[in-house]
Amino acid sequence: MNQIKTPEPDQLLNREMSWLEFNQRVLNQAHDPANPLLERVKFLAITGSNLDEFFMVRIGSLQILIGSKHERPDVTGYRPQKLLQVAGDRVRRLMAEQYQCFEQLQTGLLQNGITQLEPDQWSRKQHAFLRHWFEENVVSLLSPIAIDADQNFPLLNDSEMALAVQLAWDPTKMLGGDWYQQPNELSEEERPSCRFAIVPLGRKLDRFVTVPVESGHGYALLESVIKKFVGEFFPGQTVRDCIAFRITRNADMRVDEDGAFDLLHGMQEILAERKESSCVRLELEAHADPATREFLMKCLHVDDLHVFETHGPIRLKDWFKIAGLPGYDGLKFEVWPPQDSPCFSVERNIFDVIRDGDRILLHPYQVYDPVVRFLETAAEDPDVLAIKQTLYRTSSRSQIVKALERAAFNQKHVTAIVELKARFDEERNIKWARSLEQAGVNVIYGVRGLKTHAKICVVVRRDPDGIRQYCHIATGNYNEATSTLYSDVSYFTCNDVIGGDAISFFNAIAGMSIPQPMQQLSMAPLGLRQRILEMILVEIQNASSDLPSGIRLKVNSLVDPTIIGALYQASQAGVPIDLNVRGICCLRPGVPGLSDRINVTSIVDRYLEHSRIFYFHHGGDRRVFISSADLMARNLDRRIELLTPIEDETCKRYLLDMLDFYFQDNVKATRLQPDGSYWPVQRGDQAEFHCQKQLFRYAVQQRTEQFTAETSMFHSHRRDNELGIFS
């Protein structure tokens, strides 16, 4: 692998800046009038949620580097302090555009009967209604906290909104206490002109207070209602300023797996530490009084670099609720119901279906039910001996976890590798791990120093012709909720070689043994990177020999410098390369002499593109893989991932058709430019081709053809002699 030259800093795009460009593409969908109004509101909410995570993780990481006096530049030449400044400037421009978009959407919502009512718009009746609501719901629940010094500042939860209230200094109207001591003890110069109180809004009260209106839907923002009546918390005192703010805390904290008593205990400590971690962002309303701003900055120990003013409501991610308002279906996308797969008839035993041949499912266009049924059937089937499963992110009411618990109850040998270090899902995974242990499941808390990100389940079953391993391998999590939102691939097989590799995979992790060489699967951090590089080198050799060549990759992120260097080398050798990268891409395409033959597109649409599919021409012997891994150093070197070859010709053709769709899109696709910007793909004389719509139609067509075939034949019931029933 020493043939690959690492790119120079100016040959790479910066990771943080590329991520922000991804959020810009999401924001562009909020701007796009071709999208239904409430879907645009949803895209805007996504940009708010994305920015929250960016600060918690990426900016948090930079803060840690700066605090540790780390001065070494990254692979693109940025030192931490400079990158913090550059990223902050880009975020401010992005936020300005967010709030411009918010104003446009508010106008559209108003025109469609969805009205956000500000206090100066309240009628007498609405004013009386909201005063009563305030007295009934707010006064008894919330409590203001007087602040005399930063040591007394309340511990606010991450992303929790609060109000900062500036009050005129008047000791004659205050309760006693050392810091209220009488004015004759202080000189005129020493006497403060104001004092402050904080009102944390907590999480119990709904952000959107429904207000009675003559037609449509009316609401007032919680903070607007409290601001209007905040004087009732401070009777007899003068409120000078009252503004909403919130802080974002550093979430880039890692458990010390060597120092922790055990991983479960260590993760619980991390969750506790996050509640008190440093502030990486202070958001406050742009009209805040300078004294209020200075007070908050001092108490939270932040400088101007970490202060972000909003020209509209804070915490835009809350507008997911407005986007989901019932009764406004005409302002949302046309429903695309997930289609039944023609392969997985509910009338057939799922193991018989898989034994007949390998199967591919594309979610959410096809239902996730076969994955759940695979586990539920295994839990009850008397011929199933064991189940081995990885769990990274699960749903809050996971049917899959329940199936594993039932399997253990039914005396199956059940092993679950539950990744406790899955960021922001740690609490849920701790809960599921304990529940599984109580049910009798053998729970493994991942691997020391690595995250187990692979998505695989193996069912060991006694068939009439011997023991067989049935495998489900996927690009997405075992999560029924996100399966309706994320575009992912499921692969079912009972191939003996893959089954043997899968058992070796679980034995290595559960038994903490030296992983044995695999014949088909490739696992990170041991062989996955090498397998991909080998595939690229074959294309380089073929192109250099004037033989046909080609590479097509669909991933979420492309960051790893070595992989990028290999792709640059392939381009220079004459290999045509198509990359579909949803989010971060550090490769510069179209640079003369470097990446002339590389084309990079990105698709941001109603479903989050999440599948990873790799194609290599390989001298006409088309090699197709699916993977849980993105092309990032963290995935290739610091996580346990799987790369799975798809050798069944029908499944391979299905995935190749999918890739064709992604590279034909001229509705939602944008093309990466050498400078890191993205331009819409030009349609020219071509007919409109909308990838996600075509994938849905493809799933409908498959189901329709199967339904037509089924209804063209008569099926008689036959007696099952073994069970004594009719089937």
pLDDT in tens, 609-660: 999 999 999 999 999 999 999 999 999 999 999 999 999 999 999 999 999 9
pLDDT in tens, 406-428: 999 999 999 999 887 656 556 77
pLDDT score, position 25: 98
CA dihedral over 675, 678, 679, 682, signed as positive or negative: positive
Residue 77: what residue type?
A: G
CA dihedral over 122, 123, 127, 129, signed as positive or negative: negative
Structure tokens at 541: 């050799």
Element (H, E) at 67: helix 60-67
Contact (Cβ atoms closer than 8 angstroms) between residue 84 and residue 353? no
Structure tokens at 695: 């994938």
Taking the C-alpha atoms of residue 640 and residue 153, their distance in angstroms, rounded to an integer, is 42
pLDDT score, position 434: 87
pLDDT score, position 710: 54
pLDDT score, position 510: 81
Beta strands in 212-295 (DSSP E): 217-221, 239-249, 279-285
Cβ-based neighbour number of residue 533 at 10 Å: 18
The whole-angstrom distance between residue 142's C-alpha and the CA centroid of its chain comes to 32
pLDDT in tens, 217-251: 999 999 999 999 999 999 988 999 999 999 998 87
The residues, ordered by sequence, that sit 6+ positions from 276 with a Cβ below 8 Å of its Cβ are 155, 249
Sheet holding 145-147, edge to edge: 145-147, 194-200, 161-168, 239-249, 279-285, 307-310
**CATH 3.30.870.10 domain position(s) in the chain:** 350-520, 524-711
Taking the C-alpha atoms of residue 439 and residue 390, their distance in angstroms, rounded to an integer, is 17
> Of the residues 453, 610, 617, 690, which is catalytic?
453
* Residue 330: DSSP 8-state: G
* Residue among 646, 641, 635, 644 at smallest CA distance from 417: 641
pTM: 0.90
Q: Which residue has the tokens 């043997």?
A: 500
CATH of 36-331, one of 3.30.1840.10, 3.40.50.300, 3.40.50.720, 3.30.9.10: 3.30.1840.10
**CATH 3.30.1840.10 domain position(s) in the chain:** 36-331
pLDDT score, position 267: 42
Q: Which residues of 154-173 are buried (b: 16+ CB within 10 A; e: fewer)?
A: eebbbbebbbbbbbebebee
* Residue among 312, 318, 244 at smallest CA distance from 48: 318
Residue 715 falls in the annotated catalytic set: no
DSSP codes joined into one string, 675-704 = TS-EEEPP-TTSPP--HHHHHHHHHHHHHH
pLDDT-flagged residues of the chain (< 70): 1-2, 149-151, 170-192, 252-277, 421-426, 512-513, 706-727
The residues, ordered by sequence, that sit 6+ positions from 708 with a Cβ below 8 Å of its Cβ are none
CATH topology of domain 524-711: Endonuclease; Chain A (3.30.870)
CATH topology of domain 350-520: Endonuclease; Chain A (3.30.870)
Structure tokens at 177: 């206490």
What separation in angstroms does the CA of 692 have from each of 98, 558, 581, 668?
26, 22, 15, 9
pLDDT score, position 64: 85
